Amino acid sequence: MTQYLIRRILISIPTLVAISIVIFTILALAPGDPLAEFAMNPAVPPEVRQRIRQSMGLDDPIPVRYVKWASSMLRGDFGYSFRSKSPVIDLIRQRLPTTLYVIGTAYLVSVLIAIPVGVLSAIRQYSIFDNIATTLAFIGFSLPTFVTGILFILLFSVKLGWLPMIYRTTIETEGLAGLWEKIKQALMPIMVLGLFETAALTRYTRAAMLETIHQDYVRTARAKGLSERAVILRHALRNALIPVVTIVALSIPGIFTGAVITEQIFRVPGMGSLLISAIRDNDTPVIMAITIIFSTLVVIFNLIADILYGVLDPRIKYE
Amino acid sequence: MSDVTEQRRVRAAASAVAPAIALPQRKPRSLWSDAWRQFRHHRLALAGGFVLLFMIVATIVGPFLWPIPWNTFDMAEALQGPSLRHPFGTTDLGHDIFARILWGGRISLAVGVVAMLVAVVLGTLIGAVAGYFGGVLDSFLMRLTDMFISIPSLPLLLLITYLFQDRMKAIFGIELGMFLLIVIVIGGLNWMPVARLVRASFLSLKQKEFVEAAHCIGVGTGGIIFRHILPNTLSPVIVAATLGVAQAIITESALSFLGLGFPPDIPTWGRMLYDGINWIEFAPWMVLFPGGAIFLTVLSINYVGDGLRDALDPRRMYAV
C-alpha cells in the first residue's frame, strides 16, 4: 500500500509539470503584451519600455522563463498581478474563502440529498417515487447552471423579490439581521450549484445501488433472515457507496470550475470571477496561478479517489 | 422493461446459447435493425429524437420562411413582450427574438455537432493507435490522455478562446474564425473519454479470432484497424458522441454567456442569454426563450443518448 502510494504520488508530479508547461506555453505564445499600455503611453520612451521588459525577463526565451517561474512557484511565490500590482497570493487569499464557502455548502447539501434519494429510488425501482426522482435528476442534469441561475433570478428576485440578485461582500448590518442577509444572498448560488451536483450524484447512487441490490451476497443476507433495513444499510449500501465515494472525490475539482459560471451570474467575488477578469485583463500571473491551483486540485483529488477506492474495497490489490 | 432479475436470468441463458446463435443457420439481424427495435421502446428517447429533428429542421428552414430577418432591428419596437408579430418578443434594440433563435440555433447546433466530430475523430485515432500497437506508444498516449483529463478544461477553454480569437478572426474572418476556434478547442479538450473507450475495445478485440483470420488472409494494418476492429467499437462511441454534442452545446453557450465566445452580431443562444441578462427585470423573455431552447435541446439529446445506450448495448438485446 505504502509503496503504491509513493509510486502514485511520483506519477502525479510529471503530470503537473506537463500541465504547467502546456499552460505556460499557451500564454507565452499568445498575442497580447502585458506592457501594451506602456506602448500607447507617449510619456514612456521606447528605451525605458525595453528596460522594463528586460527587468521583467520578458525577452528571455520561453524555457528560461518557465524555469524561473516554476522555481519561484515552488517557493510559494506566485508573483505580482500586472493589473492590481499586488501579490497574486493576496488576491487569491481574498477570494478563496467566498468560493470555498459557496461551493462547500452546495456540495454538502447535494451529497446529503442525493445519496438517500438515490438509494430510495433504487430500492423502490419503477415506483412513483423512483419515476419522479429519475425524471427530476434527468432534467436537473440537462439544465446548465447558467440557465438555472437565470430562472432562479427571475423567480426569486424579479417575481417574488425574496432574494437579492447580486452577491455583495459589503454588508454592513450587524448581528442577526446582517447574518440573515449574508445567508440570503448565498442561497441562490448554492441552490444553482447544488441542483446540478445533486442530479448527477443521484443518478450515480441509484445506478450503483441497483447493481449491488441484485448481487448474490445481498440475496444471501435476505435468505438468512436479516431485516430488510440491515440488508439494505449494512450489506447493499456499504458496497454501493464504493463507486459513489470515488465519484464524489473525482467531481470536486469539476465543481470548482463549474463555480466559475455561477459566480459570474450572481457576481460572487470568488476565484472564478477573479479568473475571468484576469483573462480579460491579460493578467498572466493571476491566470497561471489559478489554473495551476485548479490542476493541482484535479490531480490531488484523483489521487484521493484512488486511495479511497483501495481503502474501501479490500478486493482491489496494489501491485 | 421487465424485472431486472428476470433480465439477468434471460441474459445468462442467452450467453449459454450464444455460440449456437453465432452459427450461420439463421439470417443474422443487423446491429442497426436490432438497435432501432430496442430504441422504439424507449418512449422518451423517441420523443427526444422528434424534438431534436424538429429543432434541426426549424433552424435550417426557419430563417428562410420567417418574414423578419434576424439582423434587422427597429428601435421603435424595442423590448416588446411576446405578441403575434413577435412570438418571442423583441430585444433592447428591437431585434425579433424568434428570428434570432432560429438563426442562432444553426450556429449552436453546428458547434455542438462539429466539436463532437473533432473530439470523436481525435479520440478514436488516439485510442485505436494506443490499443492496437500497445507498448511504448500505448503508455505514452495514455499518459497524454491522463494529463488532458487533469487539465481544468473550462479555464483553459476561456483562456485559449480569449487569447487567440483576434488571430483567428484575422485569418478566417470573424464568423468562420470564431467558429473554427471554438470547435477545435472544445473538441481538443473533450476527446479523452472516447480515446479510453476505443482503446479498451481494441485491447480486447485485437486478440479475437476474426482479427487473426484477417491477418492470415493478408489484410494490412490499416485494413485491420479500420475495416475489422473499428466498426466493432462503434456502439459505445456513438453513445459517447451523442452525449458529447449536448456537452459541446453547453460549453459553447457557457463561453458565449461569459462574453468570451461569439461576438454580439452572431446571436448564438448563449450570447443571447449574455445580452439579455442585463434586461432580466424588464424583459424576461429575452432570457427565457434562448434558455428554453438550450434546455430543450440538451434534454432531448440526453434522452436520445440514454435510449441509444440501452439500444446499442448488445447484452440487453436478448432481454426484450
pLDDT at residue number B317: 45
Q: Is B302 on the interface with A (CB under 8 A)?
A: yes
A23 occurs within a structural domain: no
Cα(B118)–Cα(B185) distance, rounded to whole angstroms? 9
A63 occurs within a structural domain: no
Q: What is the DSSP string of B152-205?
A: -HHHHHHHHHHHHHHHHHHHH-HHHHHHHHHHHHHHHTS-HHHHHHHHHHHHHH
Nearest CA in chain A to B9: A214
A175 occurs within a structural domain: yes
Cα(A191)–Cα(A113) distance, rounded to whole angstroms? 12
CB spacing of A26 vs B280 below 8 angstroms? no
Q: Record the pTM.
A: 0.82
* Residues of A in Cβ contact (< 8 Å) with B158: 260, 275-276, 279
CB spacing of A144 vs B250 below 8 angstroms? yes
CA distance B157 to chain A (A): 11
Query: Is pLDDT of B218 > 80?
Result: yes
Could you tell me which residues are beta bridge partners of residue B96? B90
A4 occurs within a structural domain: no
C-alpha cell at B318: 436478448
Nearest CA in chain B to A298: B150
Q: List, run by run, the mean pLDDT of 10-residue segments along chain A (319 residues).
A: 78 82 81 61 71 69 81 78 80 85 88 91 87 88 86 83 74 70 81 88 88 87 87 86 83 79 85 86 82 84 81 68
pLDDT at residue number A31: 66
CB spacing of B291 vs A295 below 8 angstroms? no
Looking from the CA of B276 toward its CB, the CA atoms found within 13 Å total 33
pLDDT at residue number B121: 93
A92 occurs within a structural domain: yes
pLDDT in tens, B162-177: 888 888 888 888 788 8
Domain that holds residue A245: 88-312
Split at pLDDT 50, 70, 90, the class of B113 is very high
A194 occurs within a structural domain: yes
Domain count, chain A: 1
Query: b/e per residue, A87-114, with b = 16+ CB within 10 A?
Result: ebeebbeebeebbebbbebbbebbbebb
Higher pLDDT, B38 or B182: B182
Please say whether the beta carbons of B254 and B270 come within 8 A: yes
Split at pLDDT 50, 70, 90, the class of B78 is low
CB spacing of A294 vs B299 below 8 angstroms? no
The residue type found at A72 is S
A211 occurs within a structural domain: yes
CB spacing of A144 vs B273 below 8 angstroms? no
Looking from the CA of B36 toward its CB, the CA atoms found within 13 Å total 4
The residue type found at B251 is T
Enter the DSSP assignment of B75.
Answer: G
Query: Is pLDDT of B276 > 70?
Result: yes
Which B residues in the span 246-285 are in contact with A, Cβ-Cβ below 8 Å?
Answer: 246, 250, 253-254, 257-258, 260, 270, 273, 277, 280-281, 284
Closest among B288, B180, B78 to A151, alpha carbons compared = B288
| A·B CB contacts under 8 A | 124
Please say whether the beta carbons of B42 and B307 come within 8 A: yes
Closest among A239, A236, A149 to A193, alpha carbons compared = A149
Looking from the CA of A62 toward its CB, the CA atoms found within 13 Å total 11
Find the CATH number of the domain harbouring A162: 1.10.3720.10
**ipTM of this model?**
0.81
A75 occurs within a structural domain: no
Cell match 453557450: residue?
B253
* Residues of B in Cβ contact (< 8 Å) with A141: 302
Cα(B132)–Cα(B223) distance, rounded to whole angstroms? 12
Rg (CA), chain A: 25
Split at pLDDT 50, 70, 90, the class of B2 is very low
